Every structure is written in structure tokens, then in C-alpha cells.
Amino acid sequence: MPIFVKEILDIKGREVVTVDPGMSIADAAVTLYEHRIGAVVVTDHMGAVLGIFTERDLVRAVAAKGSAALETRVSDVMTKSVTRCSEETTTDDLMEIMTGGRFRHLPVEANGRLAGIISIGDVVKARISEIETEAEHIKAYIAG
Ligand code: AMP
């Protein structure tokens, strides 16, 4: 049985840390650190998704501009074209999307609104649980 994004969110919750596009890179780094996360979704005042900003973008900005990057705005370095998934997306699909797009975060959209975020860590956890369940079924089948 595949595991769906909905089941992952039911366990981990649907809260998404968002930031304003005008926030400085320095403040965005503090936000990532304080929430112990690797990505924030950038939204406007209506909650519409404008982009995604991750630790990778932080590293790229600092590598390109040095410490001056810290004063620039999130909107200058965020990825504007955000790939999303839905609650009906399976772990197999998540792995394919993340591997193909070379990113580790996938915001979830439901009814046109932000409804959670899946990280590669969530996918690994779900896959392990999937494999464990399959192993239990096989053991029960062999034993019985
Ligand atoms: P990550 O591996 O998630 O830290 O992201 C690597 C790069 O991909 C960064 O430039 C991110 O802004 C970008 N990125 C991360 N997640 C997404 C996504 N869901 N859609 C589009 N770009 C993304």
C-alpha cells in the first residue's frame, strides 16, 4: 500500500513557516535556524506563494556576494517557480519529483492554498515505515 502525502501531514502537521519577500537574507537565516528547518516558503500578504528560499540559496548568495548578501532581500535569491504536490501524491512520486528537480522540499497545495510542506527527511521516514510494513507482511505470509 503506498503512503500518501495526506498520511505524512496527518502525523507531522500542516504548519508551514513563511516569510515576507522583503525580509533580509540575514533574518531569513535566523528564521531557518530558530525553526530548525531547511526551507521557508515566501508568500505575499494574501498568502499567495511567491517562491521558496532554502539553505542552498543562502549558501549560493553568500558564495556569490560575500557578507553583503546578508543585507539583500529574500526575493532577490529565492526560486520563483515552485514545484508543489498534493495530499494525493505518493512517496514514489515524491522521490521522483525531488530527484528530478534536485531539491529537498515540496510545498503541498490543497484547494489552491498552501497546506503543508514535505522534506526529503519526511519521505525517507515514510519509505522506511512502508518497507517495514511490507517486511512484516512477507514474514507473516511465510510463517502462516
Ligand atoms: P533544497 O534542496 O530544497 O535546499 O533546494 C535546492 C534548490 O532548489 C534551491 O535553489 C531552492 O530554492 C530550490 N527549491 C527547493 N524546493 C523547491 C521546490 N519545491 N520547487 C522549486 N524549487 C525548489
Q: Read out DSSP for 2-32?
A: PPBHHHHHHHH-----EE-TTSBHHHHHHHH
pLDDT value at residue 32: 98
Torsion of CA 12, 74, 36, 120, to 10 degrees: 50
pLDDT value at residue 18: 98
Query: C-alpha cell of 113?
Result: 492554498
Cell 527527511: give the residue: 121
Task: Indicate the pTM of the whole model.
Answer: 0.93
Q: How far is the CA of 97 from the centre of ligand 1 (A)?
A: 11
Q: Nearest CA to 81 among 108, 122, 119, 49?
A: 49
58 in contact with ligand 1, CB cutoff 6 A: no
pLDDT value at residue 144: 81
Sign of CA dihedral 97, 104, 116, 3: positive
Q: How far is the CA of 101 from the centre of ligand 1 (A)?
A: 8
Query: C-alpha cell of 106?
Result: 515540496
pLDDT value at residue 10: 97
| Among 17, 59, 79, residue to substitute to test ligand 1 (most atoms within 8 Å of Cβ) | 79
pLDDT value at residue 66: 98
Mean pLDDT of each 10-residue bin along the chain, 144 residues long: 94 97 98 98 94 98 97 98 98 97 97 95 94 91 89
